[in-house]
Amino acid sequence: MMSVKEFRVVEPATAAELGRGRFAFTDAYSVFDWGRMPDAIPRKGASLCVMGAFNFERLADAGIATHYRGVVDPVAIESGADPEDAVVPLAEADAPPTEMAIELTQVPDLPYRGPESGYDYDAFHEEGGGNYLVPLEVVFRNTVPVGSSLRRRRDPSDFDLPFEEWPAESVDLPEPVVEFSTKYEEQDRYLSREEADRIAGRADVDALADLARDVNRVVTDRAEAAGFVHEDGKIECLYVDGELRVADVVGTFDENRFSYDGQQVSKEVVRQWYKRADPGWVEAVGEAKSVVADRDTADWRELCDEEPIDLPEDVLETISAMYAAGANAYTGSEWFDAPPVDEAIAAVRSLDG
């Protein structure tokens, strides 16, 4: 599936050294693993870039190592500056950026040996050596919102919650929960701690969990200060010379789930809209995925006999305002010409009606 943020290599990584690259954030979006949807959400890419950069800089202030190098100032680029000279801290950008400069590590191939042998992680780690992207996603959860996969996989009693079934509203967890899932398998799956430790290679699974908790704390504290509730999220990590660094992007409305005054402020808004407005397509996606669930193949989309509808113009405008107003509120800076976050969230809430 195509990513909604584009990845550009400036200088490739080697076994001895990290490389350099860019994330270019687009206004494209994806739900239900479909890949790029038929339309785009204005200002979404810039909003996510601003939030991601803001969080990376807060992680640095907290002493947490990351692959972040800065943002690419769009005004400097328009003035003819060399792209590398245009890499600046977020506060020095003269307009909302859509590109982020990052360090690159090696991403070895993950061979698939068939249904009996599965994926060859030994080959992955032999090629990666001491400089590779850990082939895991480390998920952290503070709450269990409606739509969370945890509701399908675990019971409330697993977390000492005082009810037998999940209620029809978000549930606060007594303590953050950390889980591991695969990253490069065709059908991603959640893992036991033992499986995750094997797949992580030289990276220590307990250190990965501790790092996820540290990131979660930084994002949660900022969210609370800005009036948001940070519900869940994930990190990806690179391992280099014995050190773990946070990779990909952290703490955006696509990577994490946030709420404001009880209303979801994340890509979940779009998911729920499609469940209400285009249930035939959502059902067809689920059926296609179930057909290939045990095939280790990504061809389920070819089996789907439905196509998603476009978002209506008023829905696009509402969701665009959610991203822009949310980024303004979260960062405490007026990056975008957007309504106050309370007004933007009230408009999102009206989509349910």
| Cα 100 to Cα 70, 184, 221, 311, distances in angstroms | 6, 23, 23, 28
For each of the chain's 353 residues, which pLDDT tens digit applies? 446 789 999 999 999 999 999 999 999 999 998 989 999 999 999 999 999 999 999 999 999 999 999 999 999 999 999 888 899 999 999 999 999 999 999 999 999 999 888 999 999 999 999 999 999 999 999 999 877 889 999 999 999 999 999 999 889 999 999 999 999 998 789 999 999 999 999 999 999 999 999 999 999 999 999 999 999 999 999 999 999 999 999 999 999 999 999 898 988 899 999 999 999 999 999 998 888 776 655 578 888 989 999 999 999 999 999 999 999 999 999 999 999 999 999 999 999 76
What is the identity of the amino acid at 340?
A: P
Specify the pLDDT at position 149.
87
| Alpha-helical segments (H) within 97-241 | 121-128, 150-153, 193-200, 205-225
Q: How many CA atoms lie within 13 A of 51 on its CB side?
A: 30
- Other CB atoms within a 10 A radius of the CB of residue 68 amount to 24
Specify the pLDDT at position 294.
67
Q: Distance (Å, rounded) from C-alpha 158 to C-alpha 171?
A: 13
Specify the pLDDT at position 37.
93
Q: At what angle do helices 205-225 and 193-200 cross, to 10 degrees?
A: 100
Decide: 267 and 234 in contact? Cβ < 8 Å: no
What is the identity of the amino acid at 323?
A: Y
Question: What predicted TM-score, i.e. pTM, was given to this entire model?
Answer: 0.93
Place of tokens 């895991």: 136
Q: Strand 229-240 relative to strand 131-133: parallel, antiparallel, unpaired? A: antiparallel
Q: Distance (Å, rounded) from C-alpha 148 to C-alpha 151?
A: 6
